[in-house]
Structure 1
Amino acid sequence: MSNVRQLRYQPRDSSAGGVEVLSFARLRELDDHETQRADFYVVAVVDEGVGEVSIDFDRYPLAPGSIVRIPPGAVHRWDDMVSVDGSLVLFLPTAPATPATRARAAPIDIPGVCEPVADAELVSAALDHLELELRAAGAGTPAEIPGLLLSAFLARVPRAAEARYANDSLFVAFRRELEAHFRGHRDTGFYARVLGYSPRTLSRAVQKATGRTAKAYIVERVLLEAKRMLAHDRFTAARCASELGFPDASGFSAFFRHGTGLYAGAWQKRAISNLVEG
């Protein structure tokens, strides 16, 4: 049985266009300290206090000014949040107003925590305006307002190191196709054909954006999902093989060992031990 609580987006106000803002006080009321996986984005801004958040297999300390990015599907847990105050913006991938602003939001697909930034006042102002409009949402409120203000807020959120890809349409498209097909396709050629480019052109775009080859990027994505399954869902190697499109457990085990240096069973035992201790 999975040790991860699945969270589905259930807005309190359907007129808000797939975006909602919660306080950390409200999070404490709802959160039962379980490990979670959501089908929506979370961007949190810490105003006061210290705490910690675990995202996939990394732990991040939180302090005033920290900004947390949690994309859909990332396994996460909030810890030591008693003193933390601030806001969490929850939204669906379709919530930003236009394709251009959705592309602008793409860097938050890279999970992590940003340290306090120089334009913190602009981040705060954009968040305040979004909250104000959501509180006032109702009859007569233009439907596009939440998406536009969400886009303004996301434009102020600091970017991760890889975020230079945000304006690279080929890499953004590659990431989208990878999310849709990584469970069955691990070869660069497949994604190149789907996108209408040569494997070399695709690999150059990935290398420019991430410093890694397209093949390495695909392998990392499959390994991440395998680790989630082993550590949180407690799947066997055979179950992982089935879920990720490998012909058999031995093929998956060889892939996993090549990528991590450990057999799947040994990695699983160590990961579960670390989770229990954490």
Structure 2
Amino acid sequence: TAVWIPPGAVHRWDDITRVAGHLVLFVPTAPVTHRTRELVASPDLVARWPVPAETWPFADAARRHLVLEAAALAEDPSTELPAILLSALITRVEPPHSEARSANPTFQLFRSSVEAHFRTHHDAGYYAATLGFAPRTLTRAVQQVTGRTAKAYIVERIVLEAKRLLAHERVTAAQCASELGFPDPSNFSLFFLNATGLRPGAWQAATILD
């Protein structure tokens, strides 16, 4: 299975301790072919897909060769081989585009707007009015792609960012509330409790123990 995480994206993992694999980090300009650079820049690639069994030996060989050449960079940092092999790897794993998302421009606009404004606007009505859609039209588009309402999508995005701040930035609940546009920490605490079943402080303490 291949996983694609573009710049700025946040992924949610249910049990990351069960995940094992190889991580390939690169900047968008690293691939050397026109096709692979265009592919890397595509905004609607799916997050996860199975690599076909007949393709896997070639993809794994490209990965192993990339690891080997990347390890030799200290000896010759000017070599283009890692970038060439990266393009080969991308070609072999062939990241697919999301048909549902690319075919639903309403959801695309909504998703982009949420990413830009979820820290300050938590109400689905704001996005409907800003984008010029009736609330029912917006929710229908979001449900078509995600299976959730527009409001549920916004809540999930806020909670995901809250968890990131609490777990990785180690901010306080009050700081997290301020970062995410809540008028006071108590409102944020209740919001987080309703969404996760735990208060922010308790959830953060549990992640530290883990």
- TM-score, structure 2 length as denominator? 0.68
1:263 is aligned to 199
1:1-278 correspondence runs (5 A) = 66-73=1-8, 74=10, 88-91=25-28, 97=38, 102-105=42-45, 107-108=46-47, 113-118=48-53, 120=55, 124=59, 135=80, 153=91, 156-158=94-96, 164-274=100-210
In structure 2, distance between residues paired with 1:204 and 1:235: 36
In the alignment, is the contact (CA less than 8 A) between 1:75 and 1:228 conserved in 2?
no
Paired with 2:92 and 2:104, the residues of 1 have a C-alpha distance of 18
Q: Say which structure is richer in helix.
A: 2
Is the 8 Å Cα contact of residues 114 and 154 (structure 2) preserved in structure 1?
yes
Per-residue Cα deviation, 1:171-192 (whole angstroms, up to 9, x for no partner): 1111111110000001111111
Q: What is the distance in 1 between the residues matched to 2:195 and 2:23? A: 38
Question: Which segments of 5 or more consecutive residues in structure 1 lack a partner in the other structure?
Answer: 1-65, 137-148
More strand by share: 1
Q: Do the aligned partners of residues 266 and 86 (structure 1) sit closer, same or farther apart at CA in structure 2, a change above 3 Å counting?
A: closer
Whether the aligned pair in 2 keeps the contact of 1:186 and 1:218 (CA below 8 Å) is: yes
Aligned-partner Cα distance in 1 for 2:135–2:127: 8
Q: Deviations over 1:214-262 (max 9, x none)?
A: 0000000000000011111111111011100000000100110010111
CA distance in 1, matches of 2:142, 2:121: 17
Task: Tell me the CA shift for residue 87 of structure 1.
Answer: 5.2
* Alpha-carbon contact 2:128-2:134 (below 8 Å) kept: yes
User: Equivalent residue of 2:27, what SS?
Assistant: strand
Q: Partner letter of residue 67 of structure 1?
A: A
The question of whether the paired residues in 1 share the 8 Å contact of 2:55 and 2:92 is answered with no
Deviation at 1:211, TM superposition (A): 0.5
Shift of 1:158: 4.5
Residue 71 of structure 1: how far off its partner (Å): 3.0
How far has the Cα of 1:96 moved from its partner? 5.4
Secondary structure (helix, strand or coil) at the match of 1:91 reads coil
Displacement after TM superposition at 1:118 (Å)? 4.6
Report SS of the residue matched to 2:3. Answer: strand
Identity of aligned residues (%): 45
Distance 1:117 1:195 in 2: 39
- The separation in 1 between residues aligned to 2:187 and 2:114, in whole angstroms, is 21
Larger Rg: 2
